[in-house]
Chains A and B, each alone.
Chain A
């Protein structure tokens, strides 16, 4: 199996063995499969794309077709130890409400997203005057699923305003960790571990 995407590798490392996990926007189930196989995690998934869901179920994963914006309310409170939202926050209609739901159904939540304030993005906008197309944001503005671009500082403000505790944060430049201090400028990607 191909190695996990760097943000997923961080999440996979941090999830405690045997935990109950919901992966929201689980894609083809790569993280769930790794958690199940390596950490005996009871992993459940939610995914919008039916082809991905079929792929997951065919891999033996418990995945339901659903939409993070509307279907998280189906789960009871504290049903999971961890709720995971990787690279999906920026595609939701109401990222703030989705984060609230994650922390309602999970005792803790991992949220990872591409940082729109990375220097490459800034340069592209500053010098090119065009919406950036980068490695982590590879799709042109008119067809991108990313409808709520967010920066690391935006996200820090959101969780602060909502009284959410940041239990851990990891900032990635490529597949390398970078410091928290200059993260809003230097990190392409952020992973936050949140709790209430």
Chain B
């Protein structure tokens, strides 16, 4: 296995065929960057696909090459963890549209220049179709499970709806079957911040490397607020001042929360491409699984043999519990086996990435019950 170049860290694949896109047209060539962990068993029945969130990447359980930080889900993925790499073969691809090695606006178009805004607008289902081609290449017909939080959950549920015979179990955490008006509104704030930055230049900023960092940082700051809960912000920062005893009566970052957000925004620009942010937020905004199935979400799960596990968090106001319940309702109507729990955690939407022991217990038990 170890000498098979398809498996391991920092893998790249140029998909064999063009990718037909929901928006019409084809994308070719399509490159996917991915990592695998663990060992694929002889009958390829232990594969778990991990789908990352908006600004996530394939480095789920290995150090990030730019930030040097540990993988984004080491609480959940690794030896002895709920997604146990001693037991399962784990694949985590970078979504198309992103900027960590998979085809996106930063990639070179056939004319040798970066696509920039010539990159086609993609959908969640396009991301999933590309992943399916990757699995074909890896020799995996049926997934033991697909697992994702937030936008990763949108991919996971799309997997079950698009390839009903290829997914045995799906874990959908802190996610939704459609983007709400509020979700779209926040994303639009982010996109407008990027496009209002004079360095954006219609997306053609790759030549001299001076991108719309200020705009992208503001987009990240606004989005970051939606990932936290008011309670979490209050506990972490309150109205405490940053390295000073009194207000300055100016516009420096007097408050700790301002300083924190500015740091989050700036450090984000080191690792993320502004155009990718535009494309991926657009894909999320376009996501409405019911719309793809005649307006009835239950239709998306006709004939689906997948076991589902949904988890929401009581402080998540980005994709609140009602969105998960909406999915559960549709799954019940279609008769699919579904588990659902709203867990209590103080971290808002980000809870799925943080220390919530019950989440680990639920995912662990649900996966083990899949019968490997």
Residues of chain B whose beta carbon lies under 8 Å from any beta carbon of chain A: 307, 309, 328-329, 332-333, 335, 337-344, 358, 361-362, 364-366, 368-369
Contact = CB atoms under 8 A, between A and B. Distances in A.
A58 B364 contact: yes
Given A59-B365, A60-B365, A54 B338 contact: no
Given A60-B366, A74-B328, A54 B341 contact: yes
A27 to B, nearest CB: 14
B361 A58 contact: yes
Interface size classification for chain A: 20 to 34
A75 interface: yes
B155 to A, nearest CB: 21
A65 B341 contact: yes
A63 interface: yes
Contacts of A60: 365-366, 368-369
A158 interface: no
B333 A64 contact: no
6 contacts: A54-B341, A58-B366, A59-B365, A60-B368, A62-B307, A74-B333
A64 B344 contact: no
A113 B361 CA distance: 32
Contacts of A35: none
A74 B332 contact: yes
B337 A74 contact: no
B366 A65 contact: no
10 pairs of A and B residues whose beta carbons are closest in the complex: A60-B369, A58-B365, A64-B340, A53-B341, A62-B337, A57-B339, A74-B329, A57-B362, A58-B361, A65-B341
Given A54-B341, A61-B339, A62-B337, A75 B332 contact: yes
Contacts of B362: 54, 57-58
B344 A54 contact: no
Interface string A43-74: 01000001101101111111111100000001
Given A54-B341, A54-B362, A62-B339, 10 more contacts: A50-B342, A50-B358, A53-B340, A54-B361, A57-B362, A58-B364, A59-B365, A59-B369, A64-B332, A64-B339
A75 B337 contact: no
A79 interface: yes
Interface of A: 42, 44, 50-51, 53-54, 56-66, 74-76, 79
A54 B343 contact: yes
Contacts of A53: 339-341
Contacts of B368: 60
B361 A64 contact: no
Contacts of B342: 50, 65
B366 A44 contact: no
Contacts of A61: 339, 369
Given A58-B362, A74-B329, A65 B335 contact: no
Contacts of B335: 76, 79
A44 B309 CA distance: 13
Given A57-B362, A58-B364, A62-B307, A50 B337 contact: no
Contacts of A44: 337-338
Contacts of B343: 50, 54
A102 to B, nearest CB: 15
Contact of B358 (A42, A54, A66): A54
A62 B338 contact: yes
Contacts of B364: 58
B83 to A, nearest CB: 15
Contacts of B340: 53, 63-66
Contacts of B369: 59-61
